[in-house]
Structures are given as structure tokens and as C-alpha cells.
Structure 1
Amino acid sequence: MATQTTTQPLRFKITGLDCPDCAASLEKAAQALPGVAQAQLVFTASELLVTPKDGAMVEAAVKGLAGSLGYEAVLVGTEPQLRERGLRVWLRHHRRDLSTAASGILTSIAFILGSLGASQSLERTLYGAAIVIGGIYIAKAGWAALRTAHTLDMNVLMTIAAAGAMAVGEFAEGAVTVFLFSIGELLESYSADRARNAIRKLMELAPDEATVLRDGQEARVRVEELFIGERVLVRPGERVPVDGRILQGRSALNQAPITGESLPVEKGEGEDVFAGSVNGAGALQIEVTRLAKDSTLACVARLVEQAQAERAPSQRFVDRFARLYTPIVVGLAVGVAVLPPLLGLGAFSIWLYRALVLLVIACPCALVISTPVTIVSALTRAARAGVLIKGGRYLEELGGLRVIAFDKTGTLTQGKPQVVGGACELHANPSRECRVCQDLLAKAAAVEGQSEHALAQAILDQARAEGVQAIYPTAEDVTAIPGMGIEGLVNGHTILVGSHAFCHANGGDGERLCAQVSEAEGKGQTVVVIKDACCDSACYLAISDALRTGAPETLAEVRRAGVERTVMLTGDNPFIAKAVAQKAGIDEVHAGLLPEDKVRIIEALQKSYGHVAMVGDGVNDAPAMAKASVGIAMGAAGTDTALETADIALMNDDLSRLPFAIRLSRRATRVVRANIAFSLAVKLIFLALAIGGLSTLWLAVLADTGASLVVTLNGLRMLSFREGR
């Protein structure tokens, strides 16, 4: 196989990772390799990301480096070529397990023979053999860490501790220490694999193959071979293989893997489906609209992978602390071994043994692993529920929120405006018999046909319903006035469509129409005035965008989750904004805003409250979302822009996921803090015990390994976090 020369980041899957602190030696050594521009180890994904310098060939060097440190590196995308079988391969993958087992057996035999009165020389020989066999891979990895990364990792410290135990005659302690350390490494590796497997399962929800209809015949092909526009058959009970649009059939689809919805969604012809959804009782024929690699599920999986590489603030703190902690404790151990004997405070062998115990405590494994496992477990749990959080930083920001700002249209409301009333100077109520209303509606449709505004669709829908949408040709010289309205020429007449203030400023309105407009706005309805400037006729349409079902209950849940204040930011008029806010239970309203006004208000809220989130559609609210501590987009499963721009994406077009995400993040933050506190407490206690001569080598190893397992298992609990908690 040719060695890679690309300057794109290379992803290597690393096997054998069990401790993030020890694995950091690999990252540091990889960064120092000739030809490497950047190297980053993602412990929770077991991946090393290596960016070569221009033209550099680094694949072989990275593999050799990993092998020297006791790991195995496989370039992602080449795994199928490496699925070898046979005893030699099995032995290579399990050699450390076998050495641990042999060490444990020899230690047990030595202990039993010693209890039966065997000679001390036989005991020492068996214990010595247990230390050598069990510690050979530890010593090899430690030497490689010193030689290539110039790092004092746990392997180095354990090798020194085992050799020191033999030097002072404590063969039994040395053997038990090596065995317990090896067992602990295996258990930590197994626990970390649980978090990795949870992410892997998320990525394997889409099937590998699909039934495609070609030339009227069914054929089974790999999903990577499907093209956009092809027709795919999805039978009852099967998973949808790719994103597509239903051409034929109707069925209930379980979209939980993508959107987190608990109930199946009924879908029929013309509606979109997502890869990974489970088909119900009906057979479907779908048209492929995205390649497998570009599906929503693939995008989510890719973003979850990227999120693992995003270090949370707590993780960066722990990493900085660990870089200081180990050399300080090693220096303390040297001082303990040398100074007391020189001062006549005891024999050198006594203080050397205490120094060896300190060396075991010097590795911050439990501390370093306390954060990433918790963060990744929480990110995975959120993704399962249809909430995509793009990194530990945003998880922690969400956990510290005090204020959430919401856009109105499409966030608190359904985003589907409908005409619910209207009138003109001649009639107090809209009427199909009113020629003035009908004529103005037809002219408005001619102008709005070129607009992408949400209200334009409501006007076009109404014109279509009344059969007047095609009376006039498309308007000419159409001009949009931001925040006001739109105008254009229809059959030589200047037609204005927009706010009451906009139309009133261009010729005025009758008192009756003004009164009717004020009454409609007082009811919380959006008013669009249509005015023919040439003949001075005018009417208005009352448009309503219904509040989302369950929005008041969701906002109440948000407050119970710990958010102090909710704010609405909208470009709509104050009457409508206040009416919607009152129904939803919003604390503070800012209306009539332009995009830059929303940014200014977010800045003011941050000065007053600190952590502030902005919830919107991820498109129109992009500036405000970028300025907020956390930008949250809704309905991201249907839009690439929202997925890419938001810090947190609610995959379903449903606010009810928001309280769950807040509770999950707050729980994850508490677990991280508890893990860090527990790890530090164990270290401090055993530092004191070691200096006071009250701890043995094997007890220190047991405490370090036990602490690592406790914080790992505590972090893994986030995978089973329940919504009601």
C-alpha cells in the first residue's frame, strides 16, 4: 500500500489506549515527528489526527511510533484490508492480556508456596518472574515514552516502582503492584470502550446495503453505490438507507435516531425521510436526494466525532494541572528518598520505599480521565435524543445558562402564518364579493410572487384559495424595503404591500381602516396593508402565526431546569410580540428589532447575566446566535445551514428537547466536578499516607486504579440519563 502524501489530516485508529495521561505521550511524540505539522489525540474516540506538512510522508512513521509505545495504529479507511485471522494475529492483539494472566498465576503460586513453607529463594524467583513477565510491556512502553516523548508517564513510574521494590527486597509487593496495575489498565480500557461503543452504535444506525430499483429489477447494492435520483425500495421493518423523498407509499416512520421523537411520524408521497429511520407497516419507494456520505445521519455522526476533539474548559484545566502535578510529586518523591536519611531520620531503605509509593501516586490517570468520559457520554446521550451538542465547551456553557433569548417566528410560533381576517374602507369584514379586496389581493400576489418573506407565502396562499393569484402578471420594478414592506408596478399601478406605517407614509389611509388595523394589532395579529397608490384604494390582511403546541409548558420546564429569565427578540411589532409573549410566558420582550439590534441586546444580557443562549432557526438569527454564549438552532435535521452554524442543534422542529438538554448539561457538569474532586481527594489522602509510611505499594496502585474506575463508571452513567431527572 502506498504511503500517504496528502496534507489533509490523517485519522489513525489506535488500539490499546486505556489511560489518557499515558496516551498523551503518543500525541506529544507524534507532534515531534519529522514532517508532522500537527497531531491531536482524541482519547474517547481512540483516534490520532495527524496533519502532515506539504508533501510529507508520515503514515509509516506514525505506525512505527505507535508500535514502539505499545499501541497499534491503523489508518482509517484501510481497516477492511487488515481483517486477518489466525493464532498469530490473536496472540498479537492479546499479548498484554496473556502477560497479565501469567503474572497473576506466578504471584498466586509464589504466595501459596510461601504459605506452605517453601524456601525464600523460590518465592523470590517466582515473584521476580511475575514482575518481569507482567512488567515487560509496561517497561517497554515507559522506555519509549522517555525516548520519544521525553515524558514521565504512568508506565515509567510503575517501572521505577517495581524495580525499586525488588531493590529493597520487597519482591512480593513488586509482583502484586505490577499485577494490580495491569488488571486496572485492562478494566479502564474496557470501561473507556463502553463510551466509544456508544458513539460507534450511533454511527451504525444506517444499513450498509439498500434495495435499488434499476430497469424495473430489484438489486441489493451498498449504500455508497447509490446515486442521487435513484429509486430505492424500503420494506416494512427495514431502516431507510439514505436521505430521500417518498415517491410511492405511506407509512409510519420511527425517526428517533435522528430527531429523538418518541412516536412514529406518518409520512406519504412528497415528504422527506432520513437515513436510519425505521419503516413501519407500509412499503415505500423513495428517491435518493443525498448521497450516503452526505446524509443527515452521516452529518450528525461526523459532528459528534468532531465534538469529541473539542476540549471542554474543565478538561483544559485538568490537563494543565496534570502537567504540573506529576513533576511536582516526582520531585517530592526524590526529596523523600534522599533528605530524611541524610538528616538521620531513618534508614535509606525505609524512605526509598515511601518514595516509591509516591511515584505510584504521581500519575494523574484518574484525574485526567474524569472529564472526557463524562463529556463524551453526555454528548452521545444528547445525540440519541435528537440534540446535537458540538463539544464539551458548549455542554458546559449550556449547563451554566442563566438567560435564554428566543426568536418569535418559527421558534415560539409555528412559522406558518395564515390569513385570518381583513377589511377595506368599504367593508368592516373581508368578503369574496368585495371587488376592491379581491383586486388588491390579486395585485399583492403579483408583487409578493418574487418575495421569500414568510408573510408573502401567507398572502399567496390566500390569493390561491380565493382564485385570484393569476389575474395579474408578475410585478415589475419590485423593491423590498427592509423592515417595512415591498412595492412594485402591476399594470402600471404602484402597489405597496407592508406595514401600516409604510403604507400610511405613502398617501395616508381612511380613519375607518386605521381603526380596524389598530384593533387587529391589539389582538396580537400581524397586519399587512395593501395599497394601490394610483387610485388611493387600500385594504389590510390580518395574519396570525399560531403559538407552538406546548410552548408555555416547555418554557415552564426551562425555568424549572434552572434558567432564571426568558427573553423574546423579534422584528415584529410590539402589540403582536407582547401578545405572543403573554401566551408563552416570556419574561421580557424586545420588538421591532433589526438583526444588529438583536446582537446589541444579547451583548447587554451577557453583561448583566453572563451565560446567555439564543434560540432561532440558525439562518436569519445567525448574528445573534454567534454573539450568544450558546447558539441553539431548531429543526436542524432539515437544514444543512442550521447544522453547521449552531453550537447546539435541536434536530426535531420541537422546543421540548430544550429542557432535556439543559438538565443533561447541568448533570454532566456536576458529575465532572464530583469526579475531579474525588480524584484530587484520593491523591491528597495517599500523598499524606505515603509520606507518613502508612501506605504500601500495592495499596497505592489499588487506590489509583480504583479511583480511575470509579470516575469512569460515574461518567458512563450519563449514557443512561433519563429525561425526568
Structure 2
Amino acid sequence: MAALSPLKLRVEGMDCGACALKIENAMKRLPGVSDINVSYGQESVALTFDEDRTSALTIKEKIRALGFTPISERKDLVAPRSAPVLSAREPWWRGKKGRLVIFAAAMFGAAFAAAQIEPQWSQWAYSAAAVISIVPFARRAFAGAISGTPFSIETLMSIAAFGAVLIGAAEEAAVVILLFAVGELLETIAAGRARAGIEALIDLVPRVAFRERDGVVERISVDDLALGDIVIVRPGDRVPSDGKILEGFSELDEAPVTGESVPIAKQAGDKVFAGSINTNGELRVEISHVAADNTIARIIHLVEEAQGSKAPMARLIDRFSAWYTPAAMAAAALVIVVPPLVFDADWMTWVYRGLATLLISCPCALVISTPAAIASGLAAGARKGLLIRGGAALEMLGKVRTVAFDKTGTLTLGRPQVTDIVPIVGNEGDVLARAAAVERNTSHPLGIAIVEAATARALDIPASFGGAIAVPGKAVTTRLKDGFASVGSPRYAAEQTAPDESVSRKIVALEEEGKTVVVLLSGKRVEGLLALRDEPREDAAVGIARLNAAGISTVMLTGDNRRTADATAGKLGLVARAELLPEAKLLEIADMKKLGPIAMIGDGINDAPALAAASVGVAMGGGADVALETADAALLRNRVTGVADLIELSQATLGNIWQNIGLALGLKAVFLGTTLFGVTTLWMAILADTGATVLVTANALRLLRLGLSVRHSTERNQ
């Protein structure tokens, strides 16, 4: 069996869902072509093909025959994170559709001039102009018909234009063709505006970097940066790629990446994102991601991937439009033949009205109604650090009735501090040092806090022998010089031994203060207690309040003890479900899903099963890498208010979709009625179709302007 080759083409002139469908149908008919993915949002066609059965040249020629232009080829499918190569946008008059408008206008102008010079030539002049002008569209209609799309807009246009010439309405036929060409050009311009968001992201990354090597600073291309390279970021420069600050202190404007408008203070050891703007001090940064894999590149890839996927609503519209167009053509035929045959009406009148019906029935506006809104919603979210993996997730977010939050690192900062040490055996230093020995290699936030506290006190941490054994949600155990020691929850300690009543009272008192208590055990003997507290995020209460005000139930799922969980939840205004092991969280989510769609908000690492089990999973608090690689959506700003922003964006997008569908079908219904009563002319009919498409696209673009800036501004002022 011959090996399959990947191919990705950037296609000029693909500006709506109907265009993408034409190409997809044509590719399906080529032998040896599979895995076809056509995205009009990206102007791209991705597929695999058997070179022994179909050549790349044949694929390109088939696309050209449909009226599109494959202008570049990408074979980077094995490295999909590479930033897309975008061609410079040409002035409208240099593009193929712009030239068609000029050609159709010239033909109409020539016919008009001829008619003014010699009125008796009028019919012949306009007929010639219409027939010549329709040729490019008729060729595309024929190519589409033999490639699997017989009911295209070009087919409807060609039939209507030739029919109008035959019944003596040649002048209107020429006007209709010109207006159709103008409408296609307007679609191209509108689609270009929708794609501008991705191009703006690409422009965020500088083209050059200042690399320091052997004490010498050299100017190089960002693409030449390698892992571990040291770069100098001067005041006013953009960070060339993701990395870690080695030296320097400055404030970085991360708004281009996360939407955070206030510059963030950064110092040695802090991470920086590609595209961030260094506002004052000079920084030495060690590169941690190459250009093709930095945060901006991953965001671009994620948004492109999301725009290429279809939401359930979009798939429904596609299925509807598949039979809508043939049905509309049949209806136009009935308009032509029924009145003359049944009611002895005038044939020419009803042929004219049937042709107008044919033009009105074009489904372009309906087909584009959903994907245009979804693409704008995804781009608007990306501008504010709200990353959504596709239309399905964006659509589901607007239907969520319950939001479940993890506690540590999600509602809280994820940086717990040791607040109390209660020794039962020895002194505070002994208890803290032995607990740190057990937690030395942990990645859990509580364990990290214990080790940091011991290090800060310069304690002599005992050596451990062998690896630590973790029981999720319960304890960590390791072997020290004098035997096995464990750091676990009070519940785990109660399973191992019966603590003194005074110890139990102390645990209760600490937990009622909102602190998390862990118990140090040596074998089955309690040696001490450590209490830690992780403060809630500053915006957590506001974020929860916004969700509650919207009628969305909020709940905190945590493995922490009930008293600590209730204390934290009480401050924030949500319900707590505590002492949950990972599998118990899954059961809780399954129960809540029975009542309606549920969103799970977690850090993207420990909560991966819960994120996957929810109707939609949202990652936050785990850093850019994790946020971009996990769950259905990610909050780059790590703000709880971002959850409400996501849901509001989804609801705005869903509302926009229904507005678009209403516009598309409503305009057609109005003009269909006026056509049957003889009010609508052919040129009005094509204006109805083109106008609906432009209105739907413009309405979808409103989502880009909505952003969430007003809401963020309100929050900052609170």
C-alpha cells in the first residue's frame, strides 16, 4: 500500500461555509484523497492523498476550477503549532473577485453606453453584456456540479441570468450579475476582517531578538532562537519567546497575551510570555520555548483549530441547507408553472417571478450564520485570554446550569502558608523538619509549603530512604532513619490510631479558622499538627457573585475537611462539598450533570479526570502550558471572574447565532412574499441575498467589538 502524503493549502477566495462545502465535496470525489478538513475561517484545506492515484497538481487544479486560488502550500502538519504563513492582503481591485467586479461593471457600462447611443441596440447590448459577464460564474457552476455541488449559488445565478435574457429582461440580468459580483467582494472583505484577529496575534511576536552568547549580543531572527538561549529584552521591546527571567526587574504589559491591562511586576525566576511588552527595566531571559511552540503560537494554533471544528448548531445548519437549496429550486419551478397552468396566468410574468424566487432562495446567509458567529466569539475570547477549544465548547458554555470549582489553586491562590505548628512529640522545629522530610519530593501545594517553611527556618531536614508512597487525598509516607513517617489528613490519622481528645479539639479549632490541618505520624503515633491556609483569590467572591446573579449554581469540590471547606465557601458565597477523593469528585459531577450541563473549573493537572467528566472543563491556575493543553477552555489570566466572562461570551454568541438565523430567514421570507405579489425585481432579489449575507457577517463581527472590556473595567474599579 502506497504511503499517504499530507498536504495543506492556503486558498484565496474561500469566504463562507458554502465555499468550503464546494471544495470538500470536490476533494471527496478524488481517488486516494482522505482526512479532508476545509476551513474557510483559516482559508485552508488540509488532507492526505495517495500520490499514485492523485497528484498535488490535480488537487490544486480542481480547486482552481471551482473559482478559488491555492496560493501557498504547507507541509507542516507534523508540526501543527508552527505559526501560519499569511500572505499580505492585496487591495480589493487586485484580487480575483475585485477584477470580476471591474469586468462586470465594464460590460454593463459598455452596454449602457451603447443603449444611449442607439436605443434599438439596447436589448442586444445588455444581452451580450449579461452572457459574457456570467461566463466566469457559469464555469464555476459547471465545475461545482461535476464535483458534487450541483445546487450552488453560481448555479442559481446562471439559471436566473440566462432565463432573464431569454424573457427579454437582459438589462436586469446584467445588473444582477454586477450586484452578485459586488456581493461576493463584500463577503471577501468581511471575511478578511474576521481573520484580522489571528493576523494581529501573529504581529505580536517580534521578528528579531537580541541573543547574548559569550558576552556578545547579536541581532538574530526569532526563528533561530533555541532552548536555553539567553536574550536581552530592552525597555519597550516585546519578549521574543516564552522564557524565565535570569536577571533584572521590570513591569511587563501582558495585555496582548492574557488581556490583563495592568502591567505585572516581574523579577528573576518569573516566567514571561512571548509578545509581552517590557515597560521599563532591562531583562536577561532564558528561552524555554522556541518560536513555533511559544504561547502566541499555541494560542494561534488553538484558535485556528477551534474555528475549523464545527459546533452542533453549525452541523445542524449544514444538514438543513443540504436539502434547502434543492427544495427552493423546486419551489421556484412551481412558481413558474403552477399559476399559468392552473390559473391561466401570464407565462412571462411568472417566469420572471420564479427567477426572482430562485435568487432569493440562495442559502449563503443561512450557511454562514453560525460559523461566522462562532469564529468571532472564539477570536473575541482569545483577545481577552479566554481560550476555547472549538464551537462545541463555546456553545455548551452558554447552556451551563452549574459551575463546580476545585479549591486549591482555583478559588485560592494555590500558595498555602504554614500558619501553626503544634508539637505533640519534640518541638516545633522537629515536627516541621520531619514533615518536610516526608514531603521533600512532593508536587502538592501543601507539601511544597511545608518544605518551604522548613527551608526558610534553615532546619536540618532528615534524610529519607527510598521513594515516598502517596495515597491520593489521604497521606504521603516515606522511610526515615528511625522508621516510617507519614503526613496525612486528620481522617487518615484517625484510621491509623485514636488521637488524644486534646489533639482532636485542637484540629477542630484550627479547621474552624479556615485552615487545613495535616498530621505528622511516626508509625501509628501522632507527633504533631501543622495548619496551613491558602488565601482566596482577590476576585473569587466577585466571580462567584456574578455567576449566582446569572442564576447559575456554584459549588466547591474539595478533598479538604468539611470545616475548612465550609469556612472558605462561606466567605465566597457558594456551597461546599468536602472530603472528596478524586473518584468521589467524579461521582458528584455525574450526579450534577443529571440536572443539566455542568462546567468544572480546575488547575488542569490534578483535576484532569473531573475536567474530562464535566460537560465542559475549564483549566486555570496551572500556568500557560497546562492551560493551553488541557480541558475544553482555558483562562490565561487565572481569574475566577473569567468563568463568568466565558459564559457571558457564550451566551452572547448563541444570541448572535439566533439573530443571524432570524435575519437570513426573515429577509428571505419578506422578499419571497413581495416577489410572489410582483413587487420585487430581479436586482432586488439578488440584493436581498447579498444583503442578508453581509448583514449576517457584520452582525457576527459585532462580537469582536463586544470583547469584555466594559466588564473588566468595572471589576478594576470595584
> Smaller-chain TM-score range?
over 0.9
Residues 234, 278 of structure 2: 8 Å contact kept: yes
Residues 398, 662 of structure 1: 8 Å contact kept: yes
Partner of 1:633: 619
User: Which whole-Å deviations, capped at 9, do the CAs of 1:377-421 have from their partners, x for residues lacking one?
Assistant: 111111010010111111111112211000011111111111111
Structure 2: tracts of 5 or more residues without a match: 77-83, 712-718
Shift of 1:464: 1.9
Partner of 1:430: none
Partner of 2:433: 442
Residues 101, 181 of structure 2: 8 Å contact kept: yes
Structure 1's 537 and 112: CA in aligned 2 closer, same or farther, altered over 3 A?
Answer: closer
Partner of 1:701: 686
Partner of 2:80: none
Shift of 1:209: 1.9
User: Which whole-Å deviations, capped at 9, do the CAs of 1:417-464 have from their partners, x for residues lacking one?
Assistant: 1111132348xxxxxxxx433223222222221333221112212222
Partner of 2:79: none
User: Partners in 1 of 2:92 and 2:631 — Cα distance?
Assistant: 47
- 187-196 vs 474-483, which deviates more? 474-483
User: Partners in 1 of 2:245 and 2:284 — Cα distance?
Assistant: 6
Q: 2:474 aligns with which of 484, 492, 502?
A: 484
CA RMSD between the two structures: 2.6
What TM-score results when the alignment is normalised by the length of structure 2?
0.92
User: Partners in 2 of 1:92 and 1:300 — Cα distance?
Assistant: 33
Partner of 2:215: 216
User: Partners in 2 of 1:236 and 1:451 — Cα distance?
Assistant: 38
Residues 425, 510 of structure 1: 8 Å contact kept: no
User: Partners in 1 of 2:566 and 2:85 — Cα distance?
Assistant: 63
1:531 aligns with 2:521: yes
Shift of 1:72: 0.5
User: Partners in 2 of 1:134 and 1:501 — Cα distance?
Assistant: 82
Q: 2:492 aligns with which of 463, 488, 502?
A: 502
Structure 1's 106 and 639: CA in aligned 2 closer, same or farther, altered over 3 A?
Answer: closer
Partner of 2:15: 18
User: Which whole-Å deviations, capped at 9, do the CAs of 1:464-496 have from their partners, x for residues lacking one?
Assistant: 2333243x2224574333332123332223323
Partner of 2:315: 316
Pairs within 5 Å for 1:24-35: 24-35=21-32
Partner of 1:540: 529
Could you tell me which amino acid in structure 1 is paired with residue 66 of structure 2?
Answer: L
1:606 aligns with 2:593: yes
User: Partners in 2 of 1:90 and 1:496 — Cα distance?
Assistant: 70
Could you tell me which amino acid in structure 2 is paired with residue 444 of structure 1?
Answer: A
- 190-199 vs 11-20, which deviates more? 11-20
Residues 480, 487 of structure 1: 8 Å contact kept: yes
Partner of 2:61: 64
Partner of 1:684: 669
Partner of 1:184: 183
User: Partners in 2 of 1:691 and 1:189 — Cα distance?
Assistant: 31
User: Partners in 2 of 1:84 and 1:297 — Cα distance?
Assistant: 20
Could you tell me which amino acid in structure 1 is paired with residue 281 of structure 2?
Answer: G
Residues 519, 526 of structure 2: 8 Å contact kept: no
User: Partners in 1 of 2:565 and 2:658 — Cα distance?
Assistant: 40
User: Partners in 1 of 2:91 and 2:53 — Cα distance?
Assistant: 33
Tell me the number of residue pairs that the alignment of Structure 1 and Structure 2 aligns. 702
Provide runs of 4+ in structure 1 moved above 6 Å.
Answer: 78-85, 89-92
- 13-22 vs 357-366, which deviates more? 13-22
Residues 230, 284 of structure 2: 8 Å contact kept: yes
- 8-17 vs 136-145, which deviates more? 8-17
Q: 2:443 aligns with which of 416, 430, 452?
A: 452
Pairs within 5 Å for 1:640-719: 640=626, 642-719=627-704
User: Which whole-Å deviations, capped at 9, do the CAs of 1:167-196 have from their partners, x for residues lacking one?
Assistant: 001111111111111111111111111001
- 163-172 vs 144-153, which deviates more? 144-153
| Partner SS, residue 231 of structure 2 | strand
Could you tell me which amino acid in structure 1 is paired with residue 265 of structure 2?
Answer: E
Shift of 1:722: 4.0
User: Partners in 1 of 2:477 and 2:414 — Cα distance?
Assistant: 24
User: Partners in 1 of 2:591 and 2:87 — Cα distance?
Assistant: 58
Shift of 1:217: 2.5
- 61-70 vs 20-29, which deviates more? 20-29
Shift of 1:48: 1.3
Residues 296, 637 of structure 1: 8 Å contact kept: no
User: Partners in 2 of 1:443 and 1:682 — Cα distance?
Assistant: 75
Shift of 1:326: 0.3
Could you tell me which amino acid in structure 2 is paired with residue 247 of structure 1?
Answer: L
Structure 1's 8 and 594: CA in aligned 2 closer, same or farther, altered over 3 A?
Answer: farther
1:474 aligns with 2:464: yes
Could you tell me which amino acid in structure 2 is paired with residue 545 of structure 1?
Answer: D
| Partner SS, residue 695 of structure 1 | coil
% identical aligned pairs: 39
User: Partners in 2 of 1:462 and 1:284 — Cα distance?
Assistant: 29
Structure 1's 694 and 477: CA in aligned 2 closer, same or farther, altered over 3 A?
Answer: closer
Shift of 1:537: 5.8
Shift of 1:637: 4.5
1:521 aligns with 2:518: no
Structure 1: tracts of 5 or more residues without a match: 427-434
Residues 259, 637 of structure 1: 8 Å contact kept: no
User: Partners in 1 of 2:136 and 2:654 — Cα distance?
Assistant: 36
What TM-score results when the alignment is normalised by the length of structure 1?
0.92
Structure 1's 201 and 692: CA in aligned 2 closer, same or farther, altered over 3 A?
Answer: same
Partner of 1:98: 99
Shift of 1:532: 3.1
Shift of 1:55: 6.3
Could you tell me which amino acid in structure 1 is paired with residue 666 of structure 2?
Answer: A
User: Partners in 1 of 2:355 and 2:36 — Cα distance?
Assistant: 33
Partner of 1:624: 610
User: Which whole-Å deviations, capped at 9, do the CAs of 1:282-320 have from their partners, x for residues lacking one?
Assistant: 222211111111111111111111001111122111111
Structure 1's 525 and 18: CA in aligned 2 closer, same or farther, altered over 3 A?
Answer: closer
Structure 1's 548 and 95: CA in aligned 2 closer, same or farther, altered over 3 A?
Answer: closer
| Partner SS, residue 297 of structure 2 | helix
Partner of 2:39: 42
- 308-317 vs 453-462, which deviates more? 453-462
Pairs within 5 Å for 1:73-152: 73-77=70-74, 93-108=94-109, 110-111=111-112, 119-152=118-151
| Partner SS, residue 10 of structure 2 | strand
Residues 636, 651 of structure 1: 8 Å contact kept: no
1:590 aligns with 2:577: yes
Shift of 1:264: 1.0
Shift of 1:204: 2.7
Partner of 2:555: 567
Pairs within 5 Å for 1:311-460: 311-343=310-342, 345-425=344-424, 435-460=426-451
